[in-house]
């Protein structure tokens, strides 16, 4: 009995320490929210979107590097994505459209957190309309559905596109392999023409390009020369072919791409003068991201 009482007393003492730490954490979080609110006021004056993926990824990367405790990188990411979501809520409402059914909603929640505003989107075309109308700020779109917009991009090889791919969100493999839907990999898209540019000393960036006029026979020479991979553009079993699946339009993903001018020259050499390539977006990636 004495041993049990001693053990319970030690547990109570440790729990009181945890309670005190929790109160300190809560106070620090409230201080952070006040600073985030002031940043939001400045962003509104300068008409800036409250979602800043480069900033968020840099913070998480630095915290993972500095951590000397038992927290895993995934745990740090999950904690701070929720903190970022709370901070955005102090700055205004980030309106997120989710295409792809329950899988799209889950992918959005995994990337953004629980304090943002979510809206189910029935199709890529509806998502495009809502972005252009500025009824949503962000669209989470299955990667294979981006080619539903290929007619929108056609004829814009100068790079002046109405939207920018600014991130991605993948479902965990366990869920991706489960028949909860036909989609498991998603792009994060915002209105605007300026892709994210790397900052000095920033982490690796992933880029997404649209190639038009490329032949299936020349996909291997392109990858041999420039690396990367062709993004999946056909759904899983049971899905429908995208409208432009028969067209020679492809999505290409690559880490730290060469200059666009070099890619344009390679595009003409491999595919001919009628082909062109345009950058759809660049974004910071976590160490767990894959091609």
pLDDT digits (tens, 9 = 90+) for 215-246: 777 788 898 999 999 886 654 433 444 444 44
| pLDDT surpasses 90 at 117 | yes
Tell me which range, 29-38, 177-186, 201-210, is most confidently predicted by mean pLDDT: 29-38
- Tell me the fold of 205-284: Alpha-Beta Plaits (3.30.70)
Q: What is the pLDDT of residues 139-153, one digit of tens each?
A: 999 998 998 887 777
- Is the separation of the CB atoms in 225 and 245 below 8 Å? no
For residue 118 the two structure tokens come to 């979510």
Q: Which residues pair with 278 in a beta bridge?
A: 210
What count of other Cβ atoms lies within 10 Å of the Cβ of residue 76? 17
Cα-atom radius of gyration of the chain, to the nearest Å?
Answer: 22
Question: What 3-state class would DSSP assign to 202?
Answer: coil
Q: Which residues pair with 140 in a beta bridge?
A: 98, 188
Q: Where are the domains of the chain?
A: 1-48, 49-191, 205-284
HEC profile for 141-153? EEHHHHHHHHHHH
End-to-end CA distance of the chain, in Å? Answer: 59
Name the more confident of 250 and 2: 250
Q: How far apart are CA 190 and CA 54, in angstroms?
A: 14
Q: How far apart are CA 119 and CA 104, in angstroms?
A: 10
Q: What is the pLDDT of residues 23-57, one digit of tens each?
A: 999 999 999 999 999 999 999 999 888 998 888 99
Name the more confident of 205 and 16: 16
The domain covering 49-191 belongs, at the CATH homologous superfamily level, to Periplasmic binding protein-like II (3.40.190.10)
């Amino acid at each position: 009995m004495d041993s049990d009482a001693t053990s319970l007393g030690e547990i109570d003492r440790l729990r009181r320490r945890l309670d005190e730490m929790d109160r300190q954490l809560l106070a620090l979080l409230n201080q952070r929210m006040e600073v985030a609110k002031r940043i939001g006021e400045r962003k509104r004056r300068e008409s800036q979107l409250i979602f800043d993926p480069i900033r968020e990824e840099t913070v998480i990367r630095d915290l993972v590097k500095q951590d000397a405790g038992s927290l895993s990188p995934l745990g740090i990411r999950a904690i701070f994505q929720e903190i970022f979501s709370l901070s955005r809520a102090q700055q205004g409402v980030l309106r997120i459209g989710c295409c792809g059914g329950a899988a799209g909603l889950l992918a959005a929640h995994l990337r953004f957190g629980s304090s943002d505003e979510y809206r189910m989107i029935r199709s890529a075309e509806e998502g495009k309309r809502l972005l252009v109308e500025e009824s949503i700020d962000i669209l989470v779109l299955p990667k294979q559905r981006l080619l539903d917009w290929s007619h929108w991009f056609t004829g814009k090889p100068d790079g002046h596109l109405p939207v920018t791919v600014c991130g991605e969100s993948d479902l965990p493999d366990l869920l991706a392999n489960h028949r909860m839907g036909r989609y498991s990999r998603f792009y994060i898209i915002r209105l605007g023409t300026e892709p994210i540019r790397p900052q000095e000393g920033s982490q690796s960036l992933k880029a997404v390009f649209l190639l038009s006029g490329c032949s299936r026979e020349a996909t291997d020479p392109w990858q041999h020369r420039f690396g990367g991979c062709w993004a999946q553009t056909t759904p899983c079993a049971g899905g429908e072919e995208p409208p432009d699946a028969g067209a020679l339009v492809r999505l290409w993903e690559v880490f730290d791409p060469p200059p666009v001018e070099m890619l344009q020259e390679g595009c003409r050499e491999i595919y001919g003068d009628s082909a062109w390539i345009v950058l759809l977006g660049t974004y910071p990636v976590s160490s767990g991201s894959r091609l």
